[in-house]
Amino acid sequence: MAVIKTNSEDTKLLARLMRAEAEEDGDAGMMMVGNVGVNRILGDCMDFKDIRNIRDMVYQSPGGFEAPTKGYFYQKARDADIRRAQRAINGERKWPATNALWFYRPTGDCPDTWFNQDNTGRYKSHCFFAPSFEDCPQVF
């Protein structure tokens, strides 16, 4: 059962985002990008107020993802990517992105905080950061 409203075109859009942001981190890494995206839609908090659908989340500016500025993002979504995106839409979560609203790829170690958000962990090349329950209860 989906935790956010979507349609087939938006599912493909999320699939393209997940692949473009973290293909090098494999299935789990791409799922974590999907978790962050879904959390931004669910959250309605902080930098993501009024982000209510996949299109708004993917193309949010400022504060959105880097992938839509790169050509690789515009490749057709593959079947495996679409299935993975559907898993994220259905609420499947992977730690450390379970409650995360942000991630990035540092050149070294993950900092303890990033823009006052706690580090929830690292998966391969990406560090994940989550708000407190008080700041964004909808992602918990």
Q: What is the pLDDT of residues 24-46, one digit of tens each?
A: 999 999 999 999 999 999 999 99
At 120 the three-state DSSP class reads strand
Contacts 24+ apart (CB under 8 A), 39-43: 39/97, 39/99, 39/100, 39/101, 39/139, 40/101, 41/4, 42/3, 42/4, 42/138, 42/139, 43/101, 43/131, 43/136, 43/138, 43/139
Instruction: Report whether pLDDT(48) > 90.
Output: yes
Residue ranges making up the domain that contains 48: 8-139
The CA distance from 50 to 66, in Å, is: 20
Report field, pTM of the whole predicted structure over 0.85:
yes
Q: Tell me the two tokens of residue 78.
A: 């593959």
For residue 2, is it within any domain? no
For residue 91, is it within any domain? yes
At 93 the three-state DSSP class reads coil
Bridge partners (DSSP) of residue 69 are none
Instruction: Report whether pLDDT(1) > 90.
Output: no
Q: Tell me the two tokens of residue 116.
A: 């006052």
Angle at 126 between CA 122 and CA 129, to 5 degrees: 65
For residue 1, is it within any domain? no
Q: Quote the pLDDT of residue 30.
A: 98
Q: How many domains does the chain have?
A: 1
For residue 71, is it within any domain? yes
Q: Quote the pLDDT of residue 119.
A: 98
For residue 50, is it within any domain? yes
For residue 3, is it within any domain? no
